[in-house]
Amino acid sequence: MITDLTQGHPKKILWRFLLPMLFSVAFQQFYNLADSIIAGKFAGENALAAVGASYPITIIFMAFAVGSNLGASVVVSRLFGAKDMGSMKSAVTTSFLACAGMSLLLTAFGYVFCRGMMILIGTPGNILDDGVLYLKIYVFGLTFLFLYNVCTGIFTALGDSKTPLYFLIGSSVGNIALDFLFVARFHMGVAGVAWATFIAQGISAVLAVTVLARRLRAIKTAEKGPLFHPVLFSQIAAIAVPSIMQQSVLSLGNLVVQSFVNQYGSATIAGYSAAIKLNTFAINAFMALGGCLSSYTAQNLGAGKKDRIPLGFRTGVRLSLMAAVPFFVLYFVFSRQMMGLFLNAESQQAIEAGRMFFVDRGTVLLYDRH
């Protein structure tokens, strides 16, 4: 399952490596979309609005997890490419220890300040309590979120993009089944949506850690390195922190936008929330492509094969253009049908708000292209 990205034609090897990552993104987003679809269809417009109003706050936490993923992936890729297996194992354990500490701190912060953050962005009173409830359950699962993201980054660093896909398929199917059970059958509302994600993500994280530990034990080294390596930690942080800061700035911008959207009431929030979930699908597909190229570049840098990097970059540009076309067609041409996935026909104001989000973005894209 471990792939050496320093061998073979870059175009072929990147394409084979990227496909499972894109499928992983698809399944991850499917169960994120399922949360909103089931909330909107079975718990109502206000439930969808409550989940959506808390979403920009959850993205800030996600920024820390994704940054940790990137930091671990790049450093482990470089050491794996250089065949320094002892240091590579130390980088893995260092990543886990650092992320465990960070997740616990963020869990405590999120639980204490979740209501204050929801009030700060002007969440309407009729959805405030449900939004806070969803956020409290969500932050209890942050440790699972961090563990899974770091595992995914390390699997990718080792050239294995298939194992994360298998975990995501299982997690997605389980999450959707639990959503139906908790929301449609037990009528638990937004709490059911949150607990479904918590349980599915927790099982996936534990299994990922177990498989990764077994995979690493199979790699023999001359001597055992330290569990926490300060130098490697600084290298991981040097990559993770700028990524976290970049994504956090974008997330703070989304919070400001959400605060303006909240002024228009729960119907507009529901439509905007559904549109944002679909928009995030596209963004994460391009982030997967970036992660693929990061692992490819880091492995080849570690192996001293810098001449392979420009061809890999050109291949990545072509792949990104191929991925952009279907998203544009679905979101710009079929925007009303896409919104109908989340909302019942009587929620016309919410559907129109989400449709206008996509139409405006599509118009900007067309203007920029010309």
Q: Do residues 196 and 182 make contact, with C-beta atoms less than 8 angstroms apart?
A: yes
Q: Hey, what amino acid is at 105?
A: L
Tens digit of each residue's pLDDT (9 = 90 or more) over 103-137:
999 999 999 999 999 999 899 999 999 999 999 99
* DSSP-based three-state secondary structure for 60: helix
Q: Tell me the average pLDDT across 309-330.
A: 81
Nearest of 5, 266, 251, 227 to residue 129 by alpha carbon: 266
Percent above pLDDT 70 for the chain: 95
Query: pTM here?
Result: 0.75
Look over the chain and give the mean of its residue pLDDT values, rounded to a whole number. Answer: 84
CA distance 343 to 350: 8
CA distance 275 to 257: 13
Q: Tell me the average pLDDT across 33-49.
A: 81
